[in-house]
Amino acid sequence: MITYVIAFRSEPNIADKLADLPIVFVHGDLATTNILSDDDGHITGIVDWDSSDFLPFGWNLFSLDYFLGEIDFDGGKFIYTEYEERPELEMGFWQTFWEKVPEDMKRKRANLESAMKVSRGIGLLRRSAGLDVLRFLGGSLQIMPVIKAML
Amino acid sequence: MLPTGEEYLARVGISKEECHAIAKSLTGSTDVFPVRFQGFNSYTIQGGAVVVQIRMEPLELETLERAMKIHKTYVLQTTCKQTEPFYVYVTPYGGRPCCAKEFCVNRAAQKTALRDLAVFLAQSCQYPVTEMGFSLDTIKEHLELCLRLLGIQDKVRDLFDNLRNRFQE
Protein backbone atom coordinates (compact mmCIF):
# COMPACT_ATOMS: atom_id res chain seq x y z
CA MET A 1 0.00 0.00 0.00
CA ILE A 2 2.88 2.32 0.61
CA THR A 3 4.72 2.18 -2.68
CA TYR A 4 2.61 4.66 -4.58
CA VAL A 5 2.82 7.29 -1.87
CA ILE A 6 6.60 7.01 -1.78
CA ALA A 7 6.50 8.50 -5.26
CA PHE A 8 5.91 11.87 -3.60
CA ARG A 9 9.48 12.12 -2.42
CA SER A 10 11.33 9.74 -4.72
CA GLU A 11 10.11 10.99 -8.07
CA PRO A 12 12.25 13.85 -9.37
CA ASN A 13 10.05 14.76 -12.34
CA ILE A 14 6.61 14.72 -10.79
CA ALA A 15 5.30 17.64 -12.83
CA ASP A 16 6.34 16.10 -16.13
CA LYS A 17 4.83 12.78 -15.22
CA LEU A 18 1.57 14.27 -13.93
CA ALA A 19 1.26 16.18 -17.18
CA ASP A 20 0.85 12.86 -18.96
CA LEU A 21 -2.22 11.91 -16.95
CA PRO A 22 -5.51 12.47 -18.73
CA ILE A 23 -8.04 14.70 -16.94
CA VAL A 24 -11.07 12.48 -16.63
CA PHE A 25 -14.41 12.25 -14.86
CA VAL A 26 -13.53 10.93 -11.41
CA HIS A 27 -16.07 9.43 -9.02
CA GLY A 28 -15.26 11.24 -5.80
CA ASP A 29 -16.24 8.55 -3.30
CA LEU A 30 -15.44 5.22 -4.88
CA ALA A 31 -15.69 3.28 -1.63
CA THR A 32 -16.96 -0.30 -1.61
CA THR A 33 -20.16 0.94 0.06
CA ASN A 34 -20.90 2.72 -3.22
CA ILE A 35 -19.99 -0.15 -5.54
CA LEU A 36 -22.81 -2.65 -5.99
CA SER A 37 -22.43 -6.17 -7.32
CA ASP A 38 -24.33 -9.38 -7.92
CA ASP A 39 -23.45 -12.64 -6.16
CA ASP A 40 -20.78 -13.47 -8.75
CA GLY A 41 -19.00 -10.17 -8.23
CA HIS A 42 -20.10 -8.45 -11.43
CA ILE A 43 -20.44 -4.76 -10.69
CA THR A 44 -24.06 -3.86 -11.29
CA GLY A 45 -24.05 -0.22 -10.30
CA ILE A 46 -22.02 2.57 -8.80
CA VAL A 47 -23.85 5.12 -6.68
CA ASP A 48 -23.26 8.46 -4.94
CA TRP A 49 -21.86 10.59 -7.75
CA ASP A 50 -22.28 13.87 -5.88
CA SER A 51 -18.62 14.63 -5.34
CA SER A 52 -17.51 13.61 -8.83
CA ASP A 53 -15.55 15.97 -11.00
CA PHE A 54 -12.92 16.29 -13.70
CA LEU A 55 -9.54 15.51 -12.17
CA PRO A 56 -6.26 13.89 -13.19
CA PHE A 57 -6.78 10.14 -13.55
CA GLY A 58 -6.01 8.12 -10.47
CA TRP A 59 -7.37 10.26 -7.64
CA ASN A 60 -9.88 7.55 -6.77
CA LEU A 61 -7.51 4.60 -7.21
CA PHE A 62 -7.53 4.26 -3.43
CA SER A 63 -10.63 2.18 -4.09
CA LEU A 64 -8.40 -0.63 -5.27
CA ASP A 65 -7.03 -1.06 -1.76
CA TYR A 66 -10.49 -1.76 -0.40
CA PHE A 67 -10.60 -4.83 -2.63
CA LEU A 68 -7.09 -5.97 -1.78
CA GLY A 69 -7.35 -6.03 1.97
CA GLU A 70 -9.60 -5.51 4.91
CA ILE A 71 -9.96 -2.53 7.20
CA ASP A 72 -10.95 -3.17 10.79
CA PHE A 73 -11.61 -0.64 13.50
CA ASP A 74 -10.21 -2.05 16.70
CA GLY A 75 -9.38 -0.31 19.95
CA GLY A 76 -9.68 3.15 18.44
CA LYS A 77 -7.37 2.30 15.54
CA PHE A 78 -7.88 1.42 11.93
CA ILE A 79 -6.01 -1.72 10.97
CA TYR A 80 -5.52 -2.57 7.32
CA THR A 81 -4.66 -6.19 6.53
CA GLU A 82 -3.72 -7.16 3.01
CA TYR A 83 -5.19 -10.35 1.62
CA GLU A 84 -2.71 -13.13 0.93
CA GLU A 85 -3.97 -13.17 -2.64
CA ARG A 86 -3.31 -9.45 -3.08
CA PRO A 87 -0.60 -9.81 -5.77
CA GLU A 88 -2.80 -12.05 -7.90
CA LEU A 89 -5.88 -9.88 -7.41
CA GLU A 90 -3.98 -6.69 -8.21
CA MET A 91 -2.34 -8.21 -11.27
CA GLY A 92 -5.77 -9.15 -12.64
CA PHE A 93 -6.98 -5.62 -12.12
CA TRP A 94 -4.07 -3.97 -13.93
CA GLN A 95 -4.06 -6.49 -16.75
CA THR A 96 -7.70 -5.67 -17.52
CA PHE A 97 -7.15 -1.94 -17.04
CA TRP A 98 -4.30 -1.75 -19.54
CA GLU A 99 -6.24 -3.83 -22.05
CA LYS A 100 -9.14 -1.38 -21.92
CA VAL A 101 -7.47 2.05 -21.97
CA PRO A 102 -6.99 4.02 -25.22
CA GLU A 103 -3.98 3.18 -27.38
CA ASP A 104 -2.17 6.46 -26.63
CA MET A 105 -2.21 5.59 -22.92
CA LYS A 106 -0.84 2.13 -23.64
CA ARG A 107 2.08 3.70 -25.49
CA LYS A 108 2.92 5.89 -22.47
CA ARG A 109 2.38 3.11 -19.94
CA ALA A 110 5.72 3.37 -18.12
CA ASN A 111 5.37 7.12 -17.56
CA LEU A 112 1.73 6.84 -16.61
CA GLU A 113 2.39 4.15 -14.04
CA SER A 114 4.71 6.52 -12.17
CA ALA A 115 2.26 9.38 -12.47
CA MET A 116 -0.61 7.22 -11.25
CA LYS A 117 1.32 6.43 -8.08
CA VAL A 118 1.52 10.15 -7.35
CA SER A 119 -2.09 10.75 -8.27
CA ARG A 120 -3.21 7.78 -6.18
CA GLY A 121 -1.22 9.18 -3.26
CA ILE A 122 -2.90 12.57 -3.59
CA GLY A 123 -6.29 10.89 -3.70
CA LEU A 124 -5.48 8.86 -0.61
CA LEU A 125 -4.37 11.98 1.26
CA ARG A 126 -7.45 13.85 0.17
CA ARG A 127 -9.69 11.05 1.32
CA SER A 128 -7.88 10.05 4.49
CA ALA A 129 -7.01 13.45 5.83
CA GLY A 130 -9.89 15.50 4.50
CA LEU A 131 -12.23 17.27 6.85
CA ASP A 132 -15.25 15.25 5.80
CA VAL A 133 -13.43 12.07 6.58
CA LEU A 134 -12.28 13.41 9.92
CA ARG A 135 -15.90 14.07 10.78
CA PHE A 136 -16.73 10.58 9.59
CA LEU A 137 -14.05 9.15 11.83
CA GLY A 138 -15.45 11.10 14.73
CA GLY A 139 -12.33 13.23 14.89
CA SER A 140 -10.03 10.26 15.14
CA LEU A 141 -6.58 10.92 13.74
CA GLN A 142 -5.44 7.34 14.07
CA ILE A 143 -4.94 6.95 10.37
CA MET A 144 -2.60 9.95 10.20
CA PRO A 145 0.53 8.31 11.59
CA VAL A 146 0.10 5.56 9.05
CA ILE A 147 0.07 7.98 6.15
CA LYS A 148 2.83 10.04 7.69
CA ALA A 149 4.99 6.95 7.95
CA MET A 150 4.31 6.19 4.32
CA LEU A 151 5.57 9.59 3.30
CA MET B 1 -19.54 5.03 13.28
CA LEU B 2 -21.41 4.59 10.03
CA PRO B 3 -24.52 6.71 9.57
CA THR B 4 -27.79 4.89 10.10
CA GLY B 5 -29.90 7.48 8.30
CA GLU B 6 -31.92 8.20 11.41
CA GLU B 7 -29.58 10.96 12.54
CA TYR B 8 -30.07 12.57 9.14
CA LEU B 9 -33.85 12.41 9.50
CA ALA B 10 -33.59 13.95 12.97
CA ARG B 11 -31.31 16.69 11.63
CA VAL B 12 -33.68 17.70 8.85
CA GLY B 13 -36.92 17.04 10.74
CA ILE B 14 -38.48 14.35 8.56
CA SER B 15 -40.17 11.40 10.21
CA LYS B 16 -39.14 7.86 9.43
CA GLU B 17 -42.80 6.85 9.19
CA GLU B 18 -43.44 9.45 6.50
CA CYS B 19 -40.43 8.21 4.51
CA HIS B 20 -41.54 4.62 4.73
CA ALA B 21 -45.06 5.53 3.68
CA ILE B 22 -43.65 7.27 0.60
CA ALA B 23 -41.45 4.26 -0.12
CA LYS B 24 -44.39 1.87 0.14
CA SER B 25 -46.38 3.98 -2.26
CA LEU B 26 -43.54 4.31 -4.80
CA THR B 27 -42.30 0.73 -4.68
CA GLY B 28 -45.67 -0.96 -4.35
CA SER B 29 -44.16 -3.07 -1.62
CA THR B 30 -45.50 -3.39 1.92
CA ASP B 31 -42.08 -4.55 3.10
CA VAL B 32 -39.78 -1.54 2.99
CA PHE B 33 -36.61 -1.16 5.02
CA PRO B 34 -33.63 1.20 5.31
CA VAL B 35 -30.63 0.04 3.29
CA ARG B 36 -27.64 -1.13 5.31
CA PHE B 37 -25.22 1.60 4.24
CA GLN B 38 -26.69 5.08 4.52
CA GLY B 39 -25.19 8.34 3.32
CA PHE B 40 -24.60 11.43 5.42
CA ASN B 41 -27.05 13.57 3.49
CA SER B 42 -29.92 11.28 2.70
CA TYR B 43 -32.13 8.48 3.95
CA THR B 44 -32.43 5.47 1.65
CA ILE B 45 -35.06 2.75 1.75
CA GLN B 46 -35.52 -0.38 -0.31
CA GLY B 47 -38.82 -2.00 -1.24
CA GLY B 48 -38.75 -4.96 -3.62
CA ALA B 49 -36.47 -4.15 -6.55
CA VAL B 50 -36.73 -0.38 -6.07
CA VAL B 51 -34.63 1.96 -3.94
CA VAL B 52 -36.04 5.25 -2.69
CA GLN B 53 -33.82 8.07 -1.53
CA ILE B 54 -35.09 11.00 0.53
CA ARG B 55 -33.03 14.15 0.89
CA MET B 56 -33.33 17.87 1.46
CA GLU B 57 -30.81 18.85 -1.21
CA PRO B 58 -31.37 17.85 -4.83
CA LEU B 59 -29.14 15.33 -6.56
CA GLU B 60 -27.01 16.77 -9.31
CA LEU B 61 -28.80 15.10 -12.19
CA GLU B 62 -26.42 16.78 -14.65
CA THR B 63 -23.55 14.94 -12.96
CA LEU B 64 -25.46 11.67 -13.21
CA GLU B 65 -26.15 12.24 -16.90
CA ARG B 66 -22.46 12.92 -17.50
CA ALA B 67 -21.57 9.74 -15.61
CA MET B 68 -24.08 7.77 -17.68
CA LYS B 69 -22.58 8.98 -20.95
CA ILE B 70 -19.16 7.73 -19.85
CA HIS B 71 -19.97 4.68 -17.78
CA LYS B 72 -23.29 3.59 -19.26
CA THR B 73 -24.48 0.46 -17.44
CA TYR B 74 -22.56 1.19 -14.26
CA VAL B 75 -24.82 4.14 -13.49
CA LEU B 76 -28.31 3.41 -12.26
CA GLN B 77 -31.19 5.30 -13.84
CA THR B 78 -32.38 7.83 -11.27
CA THR B 79 -35.77 9.52 -11.41
CA CYS B 80 -36.96 12.45 -9.31
CA LYS B 81 -40.45 11.76 -7.91
CA GLN B 82 -40.94 14.70 -5.59
CA THR B 83 -39.29 18.07 -4.92
CA GLU B 84 -41.39 19.56 -2.09
CA PRO B 85 -41.08 19.67 0.90
CA PHE B 86 -38.08 17.41 0.28
CA TYR B 87 -36.64 15.55 -2.67
CA VAL B 88 -37.51 11.93 -3.40
CA TYR B 89 -35.60 9.87 -5.97
CA VAL B 90 -36.08 6.31 -7.13
CA THR B 91 -33.57 3.93 -8.70
CA PRO B 92 -33.75 0.24 -9.50
CA TYR B 93 -32.11 -2.03 -6.92
CA GLY B 94 -28.53 -2.41 -8.11
CA GLY B 95 -27.14 -5.23 -5.97
CA ARG B 96 -25.36 -5.41 -2.67
CA PRO B 97 -22.40 -3.21 -1.71
CA CYS B 98 -18.98 -4.76 -2.25
CA CYS B 99 -18.08 -4.09 1.38
CA ALA B 100 -20.52 -6.72 2.64
CA LYS B 101 -18.84 -9.44 4.69
CA GLU B 102 -20.22 -12.22 2.50
CA PHE B 103 -18.57 -10.55 -0.49
CA CYS B 104 -15.22 -10.15 1.26
CA VAL B 105 -14.84 -13.91 1.82
CA ASN B 106 -15.59 -14.80 -1.79
CA ARG B 107 -12.29 -14.40 -3.65
CA ALA B 108 -13.75 -15.46 -7.01
CA ALA B 109 -16.35 -12.71 -6.73
CA GLN B 110 -13.68 -10.23 -5.71
CA LYS B 111 -11.59 -11.12 -8.73
CA THR B 112 -14.57 -10.51 -10.98
CA ALA B 113 -15.37 -7.22 -9.24
CA LEU B 114 -11.77 -6.06 -9.62
CA ARG B 115 -11.86 -6.76 -13.35
CA ASP B 116 -15.11 -4.80 -13.61
CA LEU B 117 -13.58 -2.00 -11.57
CA ALA B 118 -10.68 -1.92 -14.02
CA VAL B 119 -13.11 -1.65 -16.93
CA PHE B 120 -14.99 1.12 -15.13
CA LEU B 121 -11.84 3.15 -14.47
CA ALA B 122 -10.55 2.59 -18.00
CA GLN B 123 -13.87 3.90 -19.36
CA SER B 124 -13.16 7.31 -17.86
CA CYS B 125 -9.92 7.43 -19.87
CA GLN B 126 -11.93 7.16 -23.10
CA TYR B 127 -13.40 10.61 -22.41
CA PRO B 128 -10.55 12.91 -21.40
CA VAL B 129 -11.10 16.68 -21.16
CA THR B 130 -8.70 19.60 -21.15
CA GLU B 131 -9.81 21.44 -18.00
CA MET B 132 -10.20 20.31 -14.43
CA GLY B 133 -13.52 20.77 -12.67
CA PHE B 134 -11.96 22.10 -9.47
CA SER B 135 -10.01 25.30 -9.40
CA LEU B 136 -6.39 24.79 -8.60
CA ASP B 137 -6.82 26.96 -5.50
CA THR B 138 -9.51 24.63 -4.16
CA ILE B 139 -7.28 21.64 -4.63
CA LYS B 140 -4.33 23.44 -3.16
CA GLU B 141 -6.31 24.61 -0.14
CA HIS B 142 -7.60 21.12 0.50
CA LEU B 143 -4.27 19.40 0.10
CA GLU B 144 -2.53 22.00 2.24
CA LEU B 145 -5.01 21.32 4.99
CA CYS B 146 -4.34 17.59 4.69
CA LEU B 147 -0.64 18.16 4.75
CA ARG B 148 -0.80 20.58 7.67
CA LEU B 149 -2.59 17.87 9.61
CA LEU B 150 0.12 15.46 8.63
CA GLY B 151 2.94 17.90 9.29
CA ILE B 152 4.67 17.21 6.01
CA GLN B 153 3.78 20.27 3.98
CA ASP B 154 7.38 21.15 3.20
CA LYS B 155 8.02 17.81 1.59
CA VAL B 156 5.42 18.30 -1.10
CA ARG B 157 5.37 22.07 -1.57
CA ASP B 158 7.16 21.51 -4.86
CA LEU B 159 4.32 19.31 -5.94
CA PHE B 160 1.85 22.19 -5.52
CA ASP B 161 4.08 24.45 -7.58
CA ASN B 162 4.36 21.80 -10.24
CA LEU B 163 0.62 21.32 -10.27
CA ARG B 164 0.12 25.06 -10.71
CA ASN B 165 2.53 25.12 -13.64
CA ARG B 166 0.91 22.16 -15.23
CA PHE B 167 -2.72 23.18 -14.96
CA GLN B 168 -2.51 26.92 -15.39
CA GLU B 169 -0.57 26.88 -18.63
Type of residue at A45 = G
CB < 8 Å to A56, chain B? 132
pLDDT digits (tens, 9 = 90+) for B12-26: 999 999 999 999 999
Q: Decide if pLDDT at A39 tops 50.
A: yes
Helices (H), ranges, chain B: 6-12, 16-27, 61-71, 101-104, 107-125, 136-150, 157-167
DSSP string, A106-128: HHTHHHHHHHHHHHHHHHHHHHH
Where does the pLDDT of residue B150 fall: very low under 50, low under 70, confident under 90, or very high at 90 and above?
low
What pLDDT, on a 0 to 100 scale, did the predictor assign at position A19? 66
What is the distance in angstroms between the Cα of B14 and the nearest Cα belonging to chain A?
21
Put simply, the chain A residues between 41 and 60 with a CB less than 8 A from any chain B CB are 41-50, 52-57, 60
CATH number for domain B6-92, candidates 3.40.1130, 3.40.30, 4.10.410, 3.30.200? 3.30.200
Cβ neighbours for B55, distance < 8 A, ≥ 6 positions apart = B41, B42, B43, B86, B87, B89
- The model carries a pTM of 0.79
Q: Give chain A's length.
A: 151
- Beta carbons of B118 and A97 less than 8 Å apart: yes
Is ipTM strictly over 0.90?
no
Contact status, residue B45 vs residue B34, Cβ threshold 8 Å: yes
Domain coordinates of chain A in residue numbers?
3-150
Domain coordinates of chain B in residue numbers?
6-92, 96-128, 136-167
